[in-house]
Amino acid sequence: MPSLEDELFPSTPGKFKIDRAHHTMNRQFHRCFASTSTMFLWALFLIALTASYLSFQSFVDSGSRYFSASWGGIQWEKQVRNSAQIHRSGGMSVLVTGAAGFVGTHVSLALKKRGDGVVGLDNFNSYYDPSLKKARKSMLNGHGIFVVEGDVNDGRLLDKLFDVVAFTHVMHLAAQAGVRYAMENPGSYVHSNIAGLVTLLEACKSANPQPSIVWASSSSVYGLNDKVPFSESDRTDRPASLYAATKKAGEEITHTYNHIYGLSITGLRFFTVYGPWGRPDMAYFSFTRNILQGKPITVYRGKNRVDLARDFTYIDDIVKGCLGSLDTSGKSTGSGGKKKGPAPYRIFNLGNTSPVTVPTLVDILERHLKVKAKRNIVDMPGNGDVPFTHANISLARREFGYKPTTDLQTGLKKFVRWYLSYYGYNRGSKPVN
Ligand SMILES: O=C(O)[C@H]1O[C@H](OP(=O)(O)OP(=O)(O)OC[C@H]2O[C@@H](n3ccc(=O)[nH]c3=O)[C@H](O)[C@@H]2O)[C@H](O)[C@@H](O)[C@H]1O
């Protein structure tokens, strides 16, 4: 049996090994040392325990501070209720998540303009310049839309929102976007696109009445599919990026909530959406910035020097698709967290049906900006990109008359006009960004 000394001072070479020759001579000393050491170890243990308790407390505190700082109270509830008020007969009250995002802002405005009630939710994260999100929020405020600052992972906040307003619909657009950023920060995709989605669905399933849900999936779910154009029934089991995989997972997760709880669910596969108030991380936006600043742009090229192509879709067409989906979503059937009958489960492509290559996108930007781009053409790195996308939109056309009307030339002209005015470029004056 090992002695107490052996347990306290295990035979670790070079560290605590005791010279047994001195064992008897130093027995008294050792006993004293052993008991001092025991006390020392206990003290260490207690310090460690206290430290971990304190850090846990501060984690809990900062967590609840993060989640609860900017919501709650009578005034806040009043703002939420006012914003959700419906001003047309047969209108809807919609909770728009990601409302300060690109698509969220445009959809919120369109709903409000036709008389629907809209409450926004956005966490204003810094994936890209939060000042652009704040500017979008100010615009929404100016149209009577209240944007709650909060996270879809905050279940308490979501429950509170459903307590205050019986939302008829949820337009779920909050997400971690971007195909290539998934290699830099994979956790953020799991956090927003999976955990956040489940938290939202949990709140929706328990809400009474349950809302109908329309949410943003992505064209990226087609991954390595090479059958064109992409139809909703095509394979989506070979995603090329973690972003795509989380969106595909979202489609499966929403299916289970539809199946178990009777939630009406519509997933929209957006195809590279662009336009005014867009996302600075996207190619058309960052190319514009660099071209104006005289900086080079990196243009990826596919295998065998084939140009990459995207079915670039203008924001106004996407907004029409979102509203069409909301209008035809059908009702959720559950109540009290229990399914009462089958509810619609739908998935639609929202694309433009006419892919354009990336070099052509640059040509168009050069014409609108009247500046030549410094193109740095490189082979597409293995970063999750797919070589091309092309939507078949016949399903959305049949269901709610979806018909995109803006070609890339026209859409980019509107984008460039917005960009120049937003960032303060005026004819003859010096750029400010
Ligand atoms: O439809 C979607 O589901 C996705 O659309 C969008 O992804 P993508 O289609 O990849 O758009 P985007 O980044 O603008 O790159 C466009 C093209 O430029 C090429 N590209 C890009 C950057 C660069 O520096 N150089 C370059 O050649 C690049 O290789 C690509 O060929 C959304 O960002 C995404 O969130 C998701 O919604």
Ligand 1 atom having least distance to the Cα of 299: 27
Q: Whose CA is nearest to atom 15 of ligand 1?
A: 283
Q: Are 288 and 369 in contact (CB under 8 A)?
A: yes
Which residue(s) pair with 217 in the sheet?
269
Residue 158: CATH number of its domain: 3.40.50.720
CA of 249 to the centre of ligand 1 (A): 20
CA of 112 to the centre of ligand 1 (A): 30
Model ipTM? 0.99
In a domain? residue 3: no
Average pLDDT in the 378-389 region? 94
Tokens of 23: 């064992």
In a domain? residue 54: no
Q: Are 393 and 404 in contact (CB under 8 A)?
A: yes
Q: Residue 304: what pLDDT?
A: 93
Ligand 1 atom having least distance to the Cα of 274: 14
pLDDT-derived band of residue 336, with 50, 70 and 90 as boundaries?
confident
Q: Any residues with CB less than 8 A from the CB of 357 and at least 6 apart, and which?
A: 307, 308, 309
Catalytic residues: 243
Which structural domain range is residue 213 located in?
A: 72-273+314-350+390-405
In a domain? residue 377: no
pLDDT at 427 over 50: yes
In a domain? residue 374: no
In a domain? residue 413: no
Q: Whose CA is nearest to atom 16 of ligand 1?
A: 283
In a domain? residue 299: no
| 209 upstream amide cis, omega within 30 of 0 | yes
pLDDT in tens, 10-33: 333 333 233 333 333 344 434 434
In a domain? residue 428: no
In a domain? residue 179: yes
Predicted TM-score (pTM) of this structure: 0.85
- The Cα–Cα gap between 97 and 167 comes to 13
Beta strand 93-97 with 309-310 is unpaired
Helix axis angle, 197-206 to 242-261, nearest 10°: 10
Q: What average pLDDT is seen over the chain? A: 88
Residues in the chain: 433
Q: What total of structural domains would you count in the chain?
A: 1
Q: Which residues does ligand 1 sit against, CB inside 6 Å?
A: 177-179, 218-220, 270-272, 282-283, 298-300, 308, 310, 358, 385
Of 173, 179, 184, 279, the residue with max ligand 1 atoms within 8 A of its CB, to mutate for a pocket test, comes to: 179
